[in-house]
Amino acid sequence: MSSIARRFPAEWEEQSGVLLALPHTDSDWQPYIDEILEFYAKLISAIVRFEKVLLVAVDTAAAKEWLLQAGVESSRIVFVQMPLNDTWARDFGNISIEENGETVLLDFEFNGWGLKFAANHDNQVNTKLSASAVFGAVKMQKMGWILEGGSIESDGTGTILTTENCLFAPNRNARWRHADFEAAFERDFGAKRTLWLTHGHLENDDTDAHIDTLARFCDLRTIAYTACDDPADPHYEELRAMAQELEAFRTIDGEAYRLIALPLPKLYFEGERLPATYANFLIINGAVITPIYGVATDDLAIAALKTAFVDREIIPLNAAVPTRQHGSIHCLTMQIPKAVPL
């Protein structure tokens, strides 16, 4: 047996900052670049109230000028310049673990969600950040398999929550099944167990059912999840089956989880149903930044999350624009633990 003890921290543990990659015109954001940058200004402003932002941009001089014009406080922003394909930092950013009490940044292979989109630049972001010394002397480890940060949730005590639909999807880790992933989770994350969801998806979701669109740990005993109460909605049966799976799960102490249902928003753009979800919230120091969409279910979702995070400020942020590209707040961000200096 290895003497290395690893732990995968929960998102609610203290952070030094959040990684963001700034949208640019040479990408799918081009048709509404002004709208997405306006959203980013609001997101960055919300984060820097509580912690720093590590902002990767294709042109840092232009990014600084944009932030100045937008009136965003930049004293808590660290800028790094490099090429980018896109902006989904959750899925190409380092996943942080603890190894014998020291933080290690794991750099997994990112291949554009199973070769759906170009990722040649995004897959190099972590290597370039490490070379820039922005993380100081913190160790980074290259990993030999494909994993996206949005596909796994941790409770910080050895439980990983994930979905079969994503991890078994084509063009990621060919022919891997439960035992292969569970062995890798134990080896690389120190996981004691894996909770697998076999049901649940959102229409037009490019990620093949990332867990951060469906079910999220809020604390050791609480899971917030996407629910649908409309039998006419095409999501109804799958999300009902997912809820039944969550009801059968038990905490590491053998107790039923406290489950908090989040309504399923109905959001459309140019006639397409978007994969909007309130589960794509970001936990930061002292706050939770939660997506809203300008629809009737927003208030219900905010109220539900207030019951899940009674000791944190709930900051609603309209994420209708980023959802046009099939992602939301959690997808765009990756937390950086306190032990990593910025």
Residue 3 has pLDDT above 90, yes or no: no
For 48, the token pair is 């820097």
Per DSSP, the residues of 311-342 read TSEEEEEE-HHHHTTT--TTTTEEEEETTS--
Task: State the pLDDT at residue 2.
Answer: 53
**Of 327, 249, 329, nearest in space to 284 by CA:** 329
Cα–Cα dist 52/48, whole Å: 5
Task: State the pLDDT at residue 39.
Answer: 98
- The secondary structure of residue 151, as a DSSP letter, is G
Contacts of 8 (CB under 8 A, 6+ apart): 95, 97, 154, 156, 158, 160, 189, 190, 191
**For the chain, first and last CA: distance in Å?**
35
Contacts of 128 (CB under 8 A, 6+ apart): 80, 82
- The secondary structure of residue 105, as a DSSP letter, is E
What average pLDDT does the segment 262-275 reach? 97
In degrees rounded to 5, what are phi and psi of residue 237? -65, -45
In degrees rounded to 5, what are phi and psi of residue 12? -80, -5
Torsion of CA 165, 170, 174, 179, to 10 degrees: 10
- The secondary structure of residue 213, as a DSSP letter, is G
Instruction: Indicate the helix (H) or strand (E) that contains 53.
Output: strand 52-57
CB burial class (10 A; 0-12, 13-18, 19+) of residue 269?
Answer: middle
Cα–Cα dist 32/37, whole Å: 9
Confidence of residue 4 (pLDDT cuts 50, 70, 90): confident
Contacts of 81 (CB under 8 A, 6+ apart): 56, 57, 58, 59, 60
Task: State the pLDDT at residue 10.
Answer: 98
- The secondary structure of residue 84, as a DSSP letter, is -
Residue 1 has pLDDT above 50, yes or no: no
Three-state DSSP state, 294: coil
- By the 8 A CB rule, do 235 and 205 touch? no
Confidence of residue 61 (pLDDT cuts 50, 70, 90): very high
What average pLDDT does the segment 156-172 reach? 96
Contacts of 31 (CB under 8 A, 6+ apart): none
**Of 191, 213, 174, 193, nearest in space to 88 by CA:** 213
Q: In terms of DSSP bridges, do strands 52-57 and 15-21 run parallel, antiparallel, or are they unpaired? A: parallel
pLDDT tens readout for residues 64-122: 999 999 999 899 999 999 999 999 999 999 999 999 999 999 999 999 999 999 999 99
> Residue 256's beta-bridge partner residues?
250
For 136, the token pair is 């100081």
